[in-house]
Structure 1
């Protein structure tokens, strides 16, 4: 990958990578804080479909996805002129905020119906982000594919939980 930011130096480049990944993991941590109590209380009272994964799977999956997201955003930041990267990275930031908003809607507010609306918006934002990233760095777009697949599954799960409860 040829970098438009090659002049930043290896130290600043690594620092930027750490910051992008740290931002994503930080959002994940905030979502986890919102989720933590409800997982062992309110969530246990919900009827769940047979395809609902065990609770232990969510932490490792989300950690992996947040790392991939951070690397993807960093690659776009590194590869593109700041004026070109600004729009895709703004959409990326918006989808991160909506990602957190889903945790608040579903687990914080105990409102699966509202969470359906939020996750549908998230699906569209992640798809849009991937398409925008693709114009700058194909690998960055591919790094978002597991995230898109997981939230598509989460959308199905969320809709099903909302309907059967």
Structure 2
């Protein structure tokens, strides 16, 4: 049995990894918000810019909790290793989307990136489900939000030739 302090460290480490991804992504995002992004024509249903930060923060925390749940099942299990590997890939793809959209200011490349990200999230949910149903369920808001983000990304691409 894992000591309680180890579980606490794992819990905060899992959330910290996800929040670190958020921080890296925000390095590309933040400078573009008041300039490039503000000048774009947005699709219908585009929320105000201030909504994105709180929503993404909650999603990254949920992702971290899901990661912790899977990790806590034991690193020796193959399904845990597979789930964590797929999770890692989707997290990198999440950062990549911020770079493509805000860093490169390329809605087209970002659209391709978000579609690959969406598939990776779906694969992560499937892999997590094999380890822990609650961990998989914690990722459902994430895939729903990324689906909405894909709609916004596509709209921005179409409206800003």
2:118 aligned residue = 123
| Long gaps (5+) in structure 2 | none
SS in 2 for 1:11: helix
Which of the numbers 108, 112, 126 marks the counterpart of 1:113? Answer: 108
Q: Is the 8 A contact 1:80 1:136 kept in 2?
A: no
Q: Is the 8 A contact 1:102 1:115 kept in 2?
A: yes
Q: CA separation in 1, counterparts of 2:43 and 2:106?
A: 17
Corresponding position: 1:10 with 2:4: yes
2:155 aligned residue = 160
**How do residues 76-87 of structure 1 correspond to structure 2 at under 5 angstroms?**
76-84=70-78, 85-87=80-82
| Long gaps (5+) in structure 1 | 1-6
SS in 2 for 1:140: helix
Which of the numbers 42, 45, 52 marks the counterpart of 1:48? Answer: 42
TM-score of the superposed pair, with normalisation by structure 2: 0.96
The count of corresponding residues between Structure 1 and Structure 2 is: 159
The farther-off stretch of 98-107 and 76-85 is 76-85
1:49 positional shift: 1.1
TM-score of the superposed pair, with normalisation by structure 1: 0.94
1:4 aligned residue = none
**Structure 1 residue runs of 4+, over 6 Å off?**
none
1:81 positional shift: 5.0
Corresponding position: 1:100 with 2:95: yes
1:7-48 superposed Cα distances (whole Å, 9 cap, x missing partner): 220001010010000000010011111101100000111110
